[in-house]
């Protein structure tokens, strides 16, 4: 089961035990002197912006809940230590053979992104914070979480005009 190059493997854990598994595995590596076989343990997280009650808050969210990534040289000894760490339910792979992450999959997991969530819904009244329509108020028609935009109908020249704005360009009126 030995290979000569360290690769990233996905380890399945009990839900909510990712941090505990990371700590237990790092301790096991240190206690067994396996720093040359198990190089890194990582829990992929992303910073997400949540807008609630007109306040922006950055929170960390796990990208892969229930999983931990381990960079290691796959040997019988390293496999045994990871597999028998408390909270680990197994490796991701076919049967008993762990499958390493490809470079493409690894890059996808760690690519930078900061999605925002906003507590504005269709029908809400919002005020525009900047740009051409600064200080205009309007009614939200739709919210696009994927594109991070809201469609708002603002009154302009006694006529409703549709405007697409970014999440950070509007604030809900109470």
Q: How far apart are CA 91 and CA 105, in angstroms?
A: 16
Higher-pLDDT residue of 105, 33: 33
* % of the chain surpassing 90 pLDDT: 26
Q: Which two tokens stand for residue 105?
A: 């999959």
Q: How far apart are CA 24 and CA 13, in angstroms?
A: 12
What's the fold here for domain 120-172? SH3 type barrels. (2.30.30)
The model's pTM: 0.60
**pLDDT tens digits for range 12-63:** 998 889 999 999 999 999 998 988 999 999 988 877 777 777 677 777 788 8
User: What is the distance between the terminal CA atoms of the chain, rounded to a whole angstrom?
Assistant: 63
Per domain, the residue ranges of the chain are: 7-110, 120-172
Q: How far apart are CA 41 and CA 126, in angstroms?
A: 44
pLDDT bucket at 118, cuts 50 / 70 / 90: confident
Q: What is the dihedral of CA 20, 24, 30, 33, to 10 degrees?
A: -140
What's the fold here for domain 7-110? Alpha-Beta Plaits (3.30.70)
């Amino acid at each position: 089961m030995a290979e000569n190059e360290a690769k990233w493997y996905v380890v399945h854990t009990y839900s909510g035990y990712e941090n505990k598994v990371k700590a237990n595995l790092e301790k096991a590596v240190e206690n067994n002197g396996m720093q040359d076989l198990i190089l890194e343990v990582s829990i992929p997280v992303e910073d997400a912006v949540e807008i609630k009650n007109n306040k922006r808050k950055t929170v960390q969210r796990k990208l892969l809940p229930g999983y931990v990534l381990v960079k290691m040289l796959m040997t019988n000894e390293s496999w045994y230590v990871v597999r028998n760490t408390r909270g680990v339910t197994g490796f991701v792979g076919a049967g008993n053979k762990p499958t390493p992450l490809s470079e493409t999959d690894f890059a996808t997991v760690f690519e930078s992104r900061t999605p925002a969530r906003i507590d504005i819904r269709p029908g809400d009244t919002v005020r525009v914070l900047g740009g051409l329509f600064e200080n205009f108020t309007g009614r939200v028609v739709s919210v696009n979480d994927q594109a991070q935009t809201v469609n708002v109908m603002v009154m302009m020249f006694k006529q409703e005009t549709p405007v697409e704005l970014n999440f950070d360009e509007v604030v809900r009126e109470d």
